[in-house]
Amino acid sequence: MELQQKKLTTSAKLDHEFSSSIFSKMASPPSEIKLSLVVTLKDEEDNIQPLIEAISKELTTLSYELILVDDGSRDNTVLNIRKHATQNVKLIVLSKNYGQTTAMVAGIDAAQGEFIATMDGDLQNDPSDIPRMLQKLEIEHWDVVAGKRANRKDGMFLRKVPSGIANAIIRKMTGVYLHDYGCTLKIYRSSIAKNLGLYGQLHRFIPVLAAMQGAKMVEVDVKHHARRFGKSKYGLGRTFKVMSDLLLIVFFQRYFSRPMHLFGPIGILSVFTGGIINLYLLALKLTGHDIWGRPLLILGIILLLGGLQLLTFGFMTEIQMRTYYESRNKPNYVIKDFYKPSE
């Protein structure tokens, strides 16, 4: 029994040391890497070889690493990556299909470059745009350079029209004025990319999350190609998910650090309106009128109770936010730069 326990302890220790060595290698940023290119993949076996070759051809003048994140592929994507990988390729294989956002986070966490670029692995984005975008970011001192798909090679009614409507709604509701939120091809300063707070399916709203950090963004036209191999993983079924995420991101953008500013005014207005209605009905009752069964009575009670619930919910969320920041000693701000003159 002691021998078995000793073996288990030794095995656990080796596993821990192995995991620690992997993450220490991923976390130690060598200064010679200028750009980390993160590409998420799901069942793209036929695109692997031309993707790696195209990136190698277009980024020859840059010191870069290519991080390929396999998001639970069921075909030969991983085998083809191992077969065609060059020295600067890193492969991250997720244990199951988590979704594009989580896969992107895994790649960004492993990135060691001064700048981080993201693009799709379906060959619709063109890596030849990356050097030009990176040059613009450096020379003009932007934090994010976002691609805008010029001459988009997608179906009109299933992709272009819904995308155009969604982009217009996002611009209107968030105040972040980009034309193409859905283009994955973007370049970030590492400090911005690693603090986006991505989870769920929020990769569609990266520009909004970056703007919440005070990032300076610009949009440039990029090439877009028709899909050559495989099929799109997206369709009209994602519309309602996007709208739900949009409501969440608007809440984060405007009320994350002050939720009472959302629930408080609505609750006070509801309580005030319900109170006025109930006082009016009370006056009618005192003058001998029958108020039972009136829809106005039901409305007044609903508004009064609903308003009290909203106020209570506002207080609870404020307490939660205070706990979130104070218990983790987490500031509610991000410092962009710090300067101290030498003595």
Same-domain check for residues 155 and 281: no
Range of the domain at 295: 260-327
Same-domain check for residues 182 and 284: no
Same-domain check for residues 322 and 222: no
For residue 88, being part of any structural domain is answered with yes
Residue 269 has a CB neighbour count (10 Å cut-off) of 13
Instruction: Return averaged pLDDT per consecutive 10 residues of the chain, 343 residues in all.
Output: 43 40 44 89 91 93 93 91 91 90 91 94 91 95 91 61 74 82 90 86 85 90 81 58 78 82 92 94 88 88 94 88 70 57 57
Same-domain check for residues 141 and 277: no
For residue 229, being part of any structural domain is answered with yes
Same-domain check for residues 249 and 267: no
**Structure tokens, 109:** 């966490």
Same-domain check for residues 216 and 90: yes
Q: Beta-strand (E) ranges in the chain?
A: 35-41, 64-70, 89-93, 115-120, 144-149, 186-189, 217-222
pLDDT at 276: 95
217 beta partners? 144
pLDDT at 177: 82
Same-domain check for residues 222 and 235: yes
Amino acid sitting at position 83: K
For residue 322, being part of any structural domain is answered with yes
Same-domain check for residues 250 and 289: no
Look at residues 192, 225, 255 and tell me which one is the last residue of a structural domain: 255
For residue 342, being part of any structural domain is answered with no
Residue 186 has a CB neighbour count (10 Å cut-off) of 22
Query: Across the chain, which distance is largest between two alpha carbons, in Å?
Result: 90
**Structure tokens, 306:** 């609903």
Q: Beta-strand (E) ranges in 35-183?
A: 35-41, 64-70, 89-93, 115-120, 144-149
199-239 pLDDT, tens digit each: 777 888 888 889 888 899 999 999 888 777 766 655 545 66
CATH at 116: 3.90.550.10
Same-domain check for residues 297 and 168: no
Same-domain check for residues 101 and 189: yes
Q: How many domains does the chain have?
A: 2
Q: How far apart are CA 190 and CA 109, in angstroms?
A: 10
142-158 pLDDT, tens digit each: 999 999 888 776 655 55
Look at residues 226, 255, 284 and tell me which one is the last residue of a structural domain: 255
For residue 81, being part of any structural domain is answered with yes
pLDDT at 310: 92
Q: Which helix (H) or strand (E) holds 340?
A: none
Same-domain check for residues 281 and 195: no
Same-domain check for residues 102 and 178: yes
